Amino acid sequence: MNKSAKTAGSSEAGQRRRATSYDVAELAGVSQSAVSRVFQQGASASKEMRDRVMAAANKLGYRPNAIARGLITQRSNMVAVVISQQTNLYYPEFLVQLTQRFSEHGIRVLLFALEHEGDIEQMLEHVLQYRVDGLVTAAMLTPHQFRTIENAGVPVVLYNRTFPDTVANSVRCDHTEGERWLIGKLHEAGHRRFAIVTGPEDSAVSTERTRGALERLEELGVREVPIVHGDYSSASGRAAFADIMDNLGHAPDAVVAANDAMAIGCIDAAREDYGLDVPGGVSIVGFDGVGPARFAAYDVTTVRQPVGRMTEAAVAMLIDRIGNPSISAEQRVFSGERIRGSSARFKEPGDG
Amino acid sequence: MNKSAKTAGSSEAGQRRRATSYDVAELAGVSQSAVSRVFQQGASASKEMRDRVMAAANKLGYRPNAIARGLITQRSNMVAVVISQQTNLYYPEFLVQLTQRFSEHGIRVLLFALEHEGDIEQMLEHVLQYRVDGLVTAAMLTPHQFRTIENAGVPVVLYNRTFPDTVANSVRCDHTEGERWLIGKLHEAGHRRFAIVTGPEDSAVSTERTRGALERLEELGVREVPIVHGDYSSASGRAAFADIMDNLGHAPDAVVAANDAMAIGCIDAAREDYGLDVPGGVSIVGFDGVGPARFAAYDVTTVRQPVGRMTEAAVAMLIDRIGNPSISAEQRVFSGERIRGSSARFKEPGDG
DNA sequence: TTGAAAGCGTTACCAG
DNA sequence: CTGGTAACGCTTTCAA
């Protein structure tokens, strides 16, 4: 039995020093560079060398050290993904898809989660210290923060976020267009008295949706639209509906919620708390097209983000930029899928 | 204007070589070790030194390289988190909480997402190459895989997974107990004809839940329980309910679904497809206590995993093991929170 | 095809 | 408190 304290990678214990390419080289009777070559893509190594090295490596439980490799190659093969609470809650598949797609390119995801979108500052420092090869952010950056990242030479893709007056790569769903469609169809079907339920104030997505809805209403000559603030939760939607009723003294024709969860809360409130029929007594629309929106009891009229295509686009964009940093910026805007549920009265099946 | 190609970290361009501690040292007129010390915790540096170094660092946009630090300190300050599709879908808050909690300890999360729990093998190789300080897995490992990780000297915490005959750190919800409670209460309220809807076959959690339910039914003398396989989706729950009806030729007294999403699908099927009242015509219970289960239209009787406490426990356990690898294994089992909704007939409000 | 040696950007140890 | 120097484990010339 080997008693040397420096012996590496014995398959029995595991508390010893981990095997390095030097250990493997020594055991195989070859040079360290040879070991390195065997573990690379376009290596030049004879079959015999390969066999000897691999045998020694297996014996010692050797695995190349990705940290050391990253240091010398200047490529960590990691990208940072920054999400806020909301990103994950309402699109749980986002992270999994992103991670799997990066993985196919040999790239790992270093995850950063924010309580609120404002907390990016310190986080950014850590992101940059890890020398990630790129960054996908589903949280808002200030222009200054964005420049900090650019100066560090790290390609960025904004996910569902945009920048006034700054050239940046971005992938997003056209929330404005989606809201305009919803409002347009509701108006066309005769709805005149609207109410809006927004998401959290620090949500860029909610802001864009609300703005889109208000713009379209303005165009259609609908004024005095009560706006109630929610926090994206169904409970807040239910409470918001009560606020609207208090505010108006009667039911509006339509309630436009900034996401599906709140729309569902509104439907619950309308039915349970006010005995209103949906959509007979009031039409309610949401946004996102998440799973629960399709449950039979709700069947929310909404707009679905094409998350699969969006994550695919984000990954492709970032990988391209990592390979060639000089590629100029691009914005990819995806239209949402229009879902006509039964929670709103629309004029007819034909599209508009 | 500085034209030297080797100049680092100019705040204007960013395509240059990034500033190193040597660059900072040179500009500040001090040694490189001094710079290193200024950027550490228990540094010994005079105030004047600090100021000069920080000034130079800011000027150059210097940031310590976490990769290089990891190489020399033998601590990457990263932990790997392995999830499967399902983990994220039904407990979206899991990842965010885990990441935030690790972050409080200065530890970053390297994320690995599996399509199916069986895909761990290659993934593991990557995990180990990154020299993570620890690993939390919400996907099943084979005993062999587990030993591989242990031999690499990486502490592991199993999340909602267990091992036959192996000593391992784990944090889990007591699914068995939860199912036993559900079955017990249903039986007590007079239900005799049961049906079970399982999750995907490769889900360890589903298996445990189903086993717990069947055991309790067996004890209570209930035999011939039809078992239908779902995939955790509400659509599969809806389809499963139809299968049960076909199978039995009539409605069972109670349907026990392996998660809430399928329970909701069953409720939709019962009401919409068969005109059954829930819980009048059939009782339906789920598991998880996810958001949609609380929607007014469903109000599912279920058992909620205390995710917050569980992630907290997992983080604490792993951090302890990273600090002191010789701490012996521990298993932490959390009872689920019992939620009496209106989707099942229970005998009385008093507990059992 | 192979081996020697020079880094990559830190931290850590040791004198001064 | 400060500076010099040796690692850390790898990739990458450059000769042989």
Rounded CA gap, A237 and A300, in Å? 14
Q: What is the pLDDT of residue A54?
A: 94
Mean pLDDT rounded to a whole number for chain A: 91
Least confident window among A10-24, A95-109, B176-190: A10-24
Residue B285: its H or E element: strand B283-285
Q: What is the pLDDT of residue B16?
A: 64
Taking only the tens place, the pLDDT of each residue in A258-312 is 999 999 999 999 999 999 999 999 999 999 999 999 999 999 999 999 999 999 9
pLDDT bin (cut points 50, 70, 90) of residue B1 is: very low
Residues 315-334 of B with CB under 8 A from A: 325
pLDDT higher than threshold 70 for residue A351: no
Mean pLDDT rounded to a whole number for chain B: 91
Estimate in Å the CA B72 to C1' C12 gap, whole number: 9
Rounded CA gap, A318 and A137, in Å? 11
Q: String of b and e for B137-172 (b: at least 16 CB within 10 Å)?
A: bbbbbeeebbebbbbbbbbbbbbbbeeeeeebbbbb
Indicate yes or no: CB of A111 within 8 angstroms of CB of B115.
Answer: no
Residues of A in contact with B322 (CB under 8 A): none
CATH 1.10.260.40 in chain B, residues? 17-64
> For the structural domain made of B175-305, what CATH number should be given?
3.40.50.2300
* Average pLDDT value for residue range A37-49: 87
CATH 3.40.50.2300 in chain B, residues? 76-173+307-335, 175-305
Q: What is the pLDDT of residue A13?
A: 40
Q: What is the pLDDT of residue A1?
A: 28
Phi, psi angle pair for B106, to nearest 5°: 75, 20
Taking only the tens place, the pLDDT of each residue in A189-228 is 999 999 999 999 988 899 999 999 999 999 999 999 999 9
Rounded CA gap, A180 and B243, in Å? 42
| Residue B194, strand partner residues | B254
pLDDT higher than threshold 60 for residue B334: yes
Q: Is the CB of A68 under 7 A from strand D?
A: yes
Q: What is the pLDDT of residue A233?
A: 94
Indicate yes or no: CB of A61 within 8 angstroms of CB of B152.
Answer: yes
Estimate in Å the CA B351 to C1' C16 gap, whole number: 75
Rounded CA gap, B139 and B116, in Å? 9
pLDDT bin (cut points 50, 70, 90) of residue B350 is: low
Q: Is the CB of A21 under 7 A from strand D?
A: yes
* Residue whose C-alpha is closest to residue A94's, from A145, A160, A163, A154: A160
pLDDT higher than threshold 80 for residue A106: yes
Q: String of b and e for A222-240 (b: at least 16 CB within 10 Å)?
A: beeebbbbbbbbbebbbbb
* Average pLDDT value for residue range B270-280: 97
Q: CA of B114: which chain A residue's CA is closest?
A: A100
Indicate yes or no: CB of B99 within 8 angstroms of CB of A111.
Answer: yes
Taking only the tens place, the pLDDT of each residue in B203-262 is 889 999 999 999 999 999 999 999 999 999 999 999 999 999 999 999 999 999 999 999
| Residue B249, strand partner residues | none
Name the fold adopted by A76-173+307-335: Rossmann fold (3.40.50)
* Residue whose C-alpha is closest to residue A23's, from A37, A35, A5, A11: A35
Q: What is the pLDDT of residue B351?
A: 46
Name the fold adopted by A17-64: 434 Repressor (Amino-terminal Domain) (1.10.260)
Report the predicted TM-score, pTM, of the whole model to 2 decimal places: 0.92
